[in-house]
Amino acid sequence: MNNLFLRVSIWVYLGIFFAYLLGPLVIMAITAFNSNGFPSVSPWECFTYAWFSELFQDERILNGIKNSVIVGIGTVIMSVTMGLSGALILTQVWPKLRATYYTIVIAPILVPGVVLGISTVVFWQRVNNWLGLGPDSILADGLFLTIIGQSTFIASYCMLVLVARLQRYDLTLNEAALDLGASHTQAFTKILLPFMMPAIATSAVLAFLASFENYNTTTFTFGDYPTLTIELAQKVRYGISPAISALAFIIIVGTVFGALTNEALKRRKELQAAASGDTVAKVDGGFRLPSFLSRNPAMIALIMLVAAVGLSVVNSMSHNPAQCIAQVQTERQEQRALEAEANLRALAERRAAAAAARAAEAAANGETVEEETTTAPASSGNSTGAFGNVFAPTNLDGAEDGEAEATEEAPASPFGSVFDPGNLETEGASDNN
């Protein structure tokens, strides 16, 4: 009983955890296909690919991607080099110094990115002044500063990855190479580097991704070269659009693709290793998946993902949501008209109630009632009278007349243009910013 309870609560917890982790991303991805101008899921309008084409026409985004790639490549080169040197020295440094050394090279991970960005800008500006160079020298260049600033802490990540692999390196291999007459450099390039290659590749990928998504440091250093993340932040801060969801969707699909590929390859290697152990392959007459698919769900998922992306690209060529969008627009207009009507009716009711209250008040002191009643007809069609035009006979004739009148006077009413349906939208949008 207790066990069952525990098991259920674990699964409930896992459900909540992953809903928190993945839910926002899934919803954001879905909003990329809704034709609604504000990224949303719940008033679903039309399925559209329009936001993707808007995204690909955005010069700033494309330029940002270009800058991000340049910065990423520079950062990968610098931080893998520094991380590898750092790892090599860590294994050789005096045991007494090791803790201090480790603290210094790990510290950049923990220093807030804002602080790294500021210190980089301040320092290189000073170096620039000290060397007597102008403001357009390379030391004040946005690309240079961004690469330098990011490498400061990304190199620490690389070092952590590389140290893990380096600890498994058999030092006697190096000694053997030296004994056989290799120079130190040869031993390094021919033995150590090939051994480190998988970790170097991993750290390069990590470094590129970390550089690509860095915001805190880059926001101080980018100068004239805004990266994709900077452009995104600008867009998200000053008004949001489903085009950003479209970009997010592409990034999510790319990430899932990368993760599945990695997983599938790993699994395949394992299966091959296991298969080479079996001398006799099992033979059964039934249906069998091709060998690279069997027992490799990641590969299956990967193929399904590729198929889905391919299909939707094909679909996007022919899919035309124009009719649906037009329909939604007319519906929206109708709804707005209805809402406006409801608002006006509420307004009229409120006025009537106010007028009735005033009339009741007036009834308490009898004299004024008569005065009011005499003035009221004179001011019919005008809401200045205590009774307004609520009791005017024309009002009873048809609702349409009253509405038309009300529509005209609405902006001048004491409520201002609060009930203007056009206002609701812009107000809602600005609230959300």
Partner 1 sequence: MKNGFLHNFYQHNGKVLGTTLLVVMTFWIGVLIILPQLSMLDYSLREYLPSGEVGDYTLKNYRHLIYGAEGASDAYNYVDLKVFMRTIIAAICVTIFNLLLCYPIAFFLGQVAKGMKLRIFAMLLIIPYWINEILRAFALKIIFGATGMINAVLIGMGILDEPFDFIRADVALYAGLGYAYILLMVFPMYNVIESLDGNQIEAARDLGAPWWRIHWRIVVPYAKPGISSGCTMVFMLSAGALAAPQILGGPSSLWFTQIIYQWFNDGGNWSQGAAYAVVLLVSCIIIVLAFMKLFKVNMGDIGK
* Range 100-159, binding partner 1 (CB under 8 A): 102-116, 118-120, 122-126, 129, 148, 151-152, 155-156
As measured in angstroms, the least distance from the Cβ of 76 to partner 1 is 15
Distance CA 330, CA 172 (A): 79
Nearest 5 degrees, angle CA 224-CA 229-CA 230?
40
As measured in angstroms, the least distance from the Cβ of 199 to partner 1 is 16
The greatest distance separating any two alpha carbons of the chain, rounded to the nearest whole angstrom, comes to 123
Residue 232 as a binder of partner 1 (CB under 8 A): the answer is yes
Q: For residue 392, what is the DSSP state?
A: -
Minimum CB distance to partner 1 smaller for 263 or for 372:
263
In Å, what is the CA distance from 50 to each residue of 98, 248, 312, 402?
57, 15, 13, 42
What percent of the chain is helix, strand and coil (3-state, nearest 5)? 75, 0, 25
Residue 188 as a binder of partner 1 (CB under 8 A): the answer is yes
Residue 426 as a binder of partner 1 (CB under 8 A): the answer is no
3-state secondary structure of 47: strand
Minimum CB distance to partner 1 smaller for 152 or for 389:
152
As measured in angstroms, the least distance from the Cβ of 42 to partner 1 is 4
Residue 81 as a binder of partner 1 (CB under 8 A): the answer is yes
Residue 176 as a binder of partner 1 (CB under 8 A): the answer is no
Residue with tokens 């394992």: 270
| Range 248-307, binding partner 1 (CB under 8 A) | 248, 251-252, 255-256, 258-260, 263, 297-298
Residue 407 as a binder of partner 1 (CB under 8 A): the answer is no
Residue 40 as a binder of partner 1 (CB under 8 A): the answer is yes
Q: Which stretch binds partner 1 (CB under 8 A): 77-85, 317-325, 378-386, 398-406?
A: 77-85
Residue 72 as a binder of partner 1 (CB under 8 A): the answer is no
**Dihedral angle computed from the Cα positions of residues 52, 58, 63 and 65, in that order, rounded to the nearest 10 degrees:** -20
Residue with tokens 């006799």: 280
**Total number of residues that touch partner 1 (CB under 8 A):** 95
Minimum CB distance to partner 1 smaller for 18 or for 47:
18
Distance CA 274, CA 170 (A): 26
Q: Which stretch binds partner 1 (CB under 8 A): 16-24, 326-334, 383-391, 406-414?
A: 16-24
Distance CA 67, CA 74 (A): 11
Minimum CB distance to partner 1 smaller for 211 or for 389:
211
Residue 38 as a binder of partner 1 (CB under 8 A): the answer is yes
3-state secondary structure of 390: coil
Find residue 47's DSSP bridge partners.
Answer: 34
Minimum CB distance to partner 1 smaller for 2 or for 318:
2
Residue 328 as a binder of partner 1 (CB under 8 A): the answer is no
CA proximity to 332, closest of 431, 428, 425: 425
Which of residues 146, 203, 245, 383 is near partner 1 by CB under 8 A?
A: 245
Q: Which stretch binds partner 1 (CB under 8 A): 47-55, 247-255, 305-313, 350-358?
A: 247-255
Q: Which stretch binds partner 1 (CB under 8 A): 53-61, 246-254, 365-373, 403-411?
A: 246-254
Burial of 93 (0-12, 13-18, 19+ CB in 10 A): middle
Minimum CB distance to partner 1 smaller for 67 or for 219:
219
CA-based torsion, 273, 278, 279, 284: positive or negative: negative
Q: CB–CB of 157/82 below 8 Å?
A: no
As measured in angstroms, the least distance from the Cβ of 36 to partner 1 is 9
As measured in angstroms, the least distance from the Cβ of 245 to partner 1 is 8
Q: CB–CB of 340/410 below 8 Å?
A: no
